[in-house]
Chain A
Amino acid sequence: MDRRTLLRGMLAGAGAAGLAGCSSPVVAGLANTPLDQGTVEYWDLFGGGDGVRMQQMVANYRAANPGTPVQAVTLAWGNPYYTKLSLATVGAKPPNVAVSHLTRMLTLQRGNLLQELRPEDLARHGMAPEMFNKRAWEAGLVDGRAYAIPLDTHPIVLFYNTDICGEAGLLDAGGALKPIEGPDALADAFAKAQQVTGQFGATHGIDADPATCWRLFHTLYGQLGGEVIADDGTRVVLDDAKALQVLEYLRSLTVERRLMPGSIDYQGAIALFAAGASGFHINGEWEISTFQTAKMPFGMTLVPNVFGGTYVVHADSHTLVLPRRDDQTPGQLDLSLGFVKALLDQSMNWAEGGHVPTWLPVADSEAYRKLTPQSNYAAAADAAVYDPPAWYTGSGSNFENVMGSAVGAVEGGQLTPQAAIEQLRSRLSALAALPSPV
């Protein structure tokens, strides 16, 4: 084979690719025609246990709908995912169905990147507002219109090691954690667990983990009735007294009483709990599969009501959205909504991964109620507080980074609560002053 042959081969290859491309992608690439009518293209951001479970659910859909091809693509979690989704929608070739966090949906909607889900279209596929958890459904409305179908609510929860808590006398006769209420009760429980483990009472990710720090802070601050920003993020309404109370409490747990390690990253916090070096662990419920795999004795429950106000807990929801596209046909819309409904119908499977189902036919079912420890914290769905609405908030956003890193610095002892509040105020003001791009 000489160069000429190779050149010819390559040209032939390109030509053959061109001919084979009488099927869609090549023609679409050259002539900008619609791509893949009749298939469902679906994007998600699930890794780990969630990813495996979602693949199963998609496979079940495929098996039940052999006539409808599904192309499922998994992209990296967080900002990269939303970047890709936005670019694809601006680029007029978005997926038919995509996963979005509820807190990210608002920015997408304001950027005119989502299709409205009209009640009559939803009804045709057996979906109606009253069939979803009220809080999650309403959080997905913009000006009364629906843009997102909530698949779950995923709150942060309190994991506890049943052996350690049993030894510390924290369990009731049935083997479940006795109710904990108030700041002293929680610190007490941590202290008792610490006496058993000899190391720590509880852990949560702090280093390089602003998300978890923010989630915990938001829960406690929310229980005091505090708010951070208002008017779509244009005004900072941080309540110094309430924030100080929360930060001082968190600091007392780490720096002063050493009930929790003040310098530990996400994986390290999990590892300590899994190894029995701490009795409690605060994290998203999705880590259930990690501890199940570790075959350790554990239970899960609501994060306690520490500050005694109306009970709230930080959460977000995975939702299914339909990115805007100009080439949407009624047939394609029905395929997409049918796919959405098929995923909702598998909410039980999804719930096994820890998430609280929002689809009431499953959430209210006997089968889900019997699913433990998952159903222990189902009430979180009704007490969920989401990130405040603004173009710069939402899971994995700049806002969470700003909030969480200040909280983490207090827990790690690098900042005093007072200094942290000053830092928060100045950084939040800078964000609030930016003109909204959507």
Chain B
Amino acid sequence: MNIRRHIFAVAATAMLSTGAYAADIKLGVSGPFTGGSASMGVSMRDGVRLAAKEINAAGGINGNKIVLVERDDEAKNERGVQIAQELINNEKVVATLGYINTGVALASQRFYQDAKIPVMNNVATGSILTKQFPNAPENYVFRNAAPDNIQAPLIAKEAVEKRGLKKIAILADSTNYGQLGREDLEKALKGYGLTPVAVEKFNIGDVDMTSQLLKAKNAGAEVILTYAIGPELAQIANGMAKLGWKKPMIGSWTLSMASFIDTAGKNGNGATMPQTYIQSPSTTAKRKAFQEAYLKEFKPKNNNIASPVSAAQGYDSVYLLAAAIKQANSTEGPKIVAALQDLKTPVDGVVITYNKPFTATDHEAIKAKDVVMGVVENGRVEFLNAEDAKPKKK
């Protein structure tokens, strides 16, 4: 045992020293590249790859190249935990980007927190993600995606304020994501003094939504608010068409998933959701450059990015981290965190220009004002309000 430990120690020192010699900056990437959430995971990964390639082509971070260590967590909590330990202990990553699924993030982040290695959540939206360790002296969890406690009020605002709909049904799946989101939605509705007339649940893989929709219909719902992912959202849209009961569908950003848009077809038209980024030719120069580079590099089907939000946020997450590593001039976790919390130079991202995005107490880069409403139109997500399509004044 002793000898083995000794050999291990020698090997580890050897690995560490060669690592330092080559001066590669290893970044972990964890997300589902197969499975029901794969369209989000793969788009995120491609966004990350694109940004890393650009940074390396421009000379890297202070002369050091970024090396990505990508792992498929299959949207499974236990895989996420294994990967976190592997990336920390074997790969010795400097930081990890990713997490599509709130559940996987919640299960895996504690390892990074304990190892003092920063995590940049670029897609997962569960509100508590960045507040998972309230008692820790330092928080290693950051996020550049719109959290649920921003999305839910926007969904409620769209239904209640903009459209004047008061009788509301909530349909959410039975996962962590769906049920945490449902709580946020109910809280947001309470702000308007409203209680939903129906709150219904379904499981992943359910093929028939008739009873849920009938209950909503029977309760006189005027609008359906959703918190679920693509395939089941498509079953809701198709089920409404079957019942001949067409009500607006407003829900979390997952209504922009390819698996919803493609499988719901024309029944999905009009579905409205908050978005941080919409693939559209007429926005800022940075967005245009990003779109062209992405389409050229990965050639997605019909030139539609499978999940544009994930791609853009994945891309930005690399630049945010790179800026912090550059400023810290170090790859030690605590120093990167200190730099992230006090970024001196603005980062020109695809979603927004990040001007001091994080502070010691606020690890959320995206604020409510950075989120716009999107609507599904003929197989694509478009801007709901035309004025959002124009470049914003800084």
Instruction: Report whether chain A binds chain B.
Output: no
* Residue ranges of B at the interface with A (Cβ–Cβ < 8 Å): none
* Residue ranges of A at the interface with B (Cβ–Cβ < 8 Å): none
